[in-house]
A and B are shown apart, each in its own frame.
Chain A
Amino acid sequence: MLIIGGHTFNSRLFLGTGKFSSSTVMREAIAASGTEMVTVALRRVDLDNPEDDIMSALDRDKCVFLPNTSGARNAEEAIRLAHLARAASGSSWLKLEVTPDPRTLLPDPIETLKATEELVRAGFIVLPYMNADPILALRLQDVGAAAVMPLGSPIGTNQGILTAFQIEIIIDQARVPVVVDAGIGAPSHAALAMEMGADAVLVNTAISVAGDPVAMARAFAQAVEAGRTAFVAGMGNRSKQAQASSPLTGTLATDLGFLA
């Protein structure tokens, strides 16, 4: 069972709520995914659509609400957004994102560490989005991150797990759950992360912009479950040398001697 911030999760698939074509599709995709954690962002109210409210479309009894600090370019902006998020959600869950460069949306490690430290002190349950840097993951858990969220590849790129080598080290060293976030573009990518031993994955774009987001949510749920089951079952070792699957002894007859 996955436990983060004292909360137990049965599903290891976390879902982002961005870019869905409608709240109905989003709601159905959330249900199909079986997720128990959804992320949301904070933005200025659109004064031309003052009653447009995502909260009315989400069931907070079924899902933990994980506000992000997307848009923050440094620790100060992220901390300001975190306090707004806590006031809006009434809870201390926070996905910390500090992305100074809009072209890559890669997280700033120094500002992320600074903000994590301060927000943990202020009582937040902080899940920092981070580059797949094993040393940074240790530093973040040392200052009290409730989980670490290394990226597979940059946000929204659907490139999959390009950071597998580093993520394996992060998983190996982690004392907090590892949630692979960003860049997961296909169920096979999610399955790979889970086979590697990730505790959960966070998926948004791959589901929300799919031809059929509800079916894709189901596909991701199956992939995450398959990957997790495979990890728990214990994967065989890789080898460069072929290893016969069929026995090499006890062949039938001498004229089949080439089988011996």
Chain B
Amino acid sequence: MQIHLNGSPKTIPDSMTVATLLQELSVPPTSVVVELNKTIIQPDCYATVCLQDNDQVELIRFVGGG
């Protein structure tokens, strides 16, 4: 199935969880905020929330800025 990850299409296995996605991308879960279809996912739900076809996933983190 396909999701939109940070604005780009990405093919992932069916019923992949947020936790597995982060792991596959080598993104440390504590360093990011996950937004799924414009709703923030709480970190303690990463292991239980499964991604669906066409989900819009945003991985956001702090960077330098004024």
Contacts and interface: CB of A to CB of B under 8 A. Distances in A.
Interface in A78-114: 80, 83-84, 87-89
27 contacts: A16-B64, A17-B64, A17-B66, A39-B66, A40-B64, A41-B64, A42-B63, A43-B61, A44-B60, A45-B27, A47-B27, A50-B26, A51-B27, A51-B28, A53-B28, A53-B31, A54-B61, A54-B62, A54-B64, A55-B61, A68-B66, A80-B38, A84-B33, A84-B60, A88-B62, A156-B66, A204-B66
Chain B interface: which size bin?
20 to 34
B52 to A, nearest CB: 21
Given A45-B32, A84-B40, A54 B63 contact: yes
A33 interface: no
Contacts of A175: none
Categorize the interface residue count of chain A. 35 or more
Given A47-B6, A47-B25, A51-B28, A70 B66 contact: yes
Contacts of A214: none
Contact of B65 (A18, A84, A88, A182): A18
Contacts of A51: 26-28, 31
A44 B31 CA distance: 12
Contacts of B6: 44-45, 47
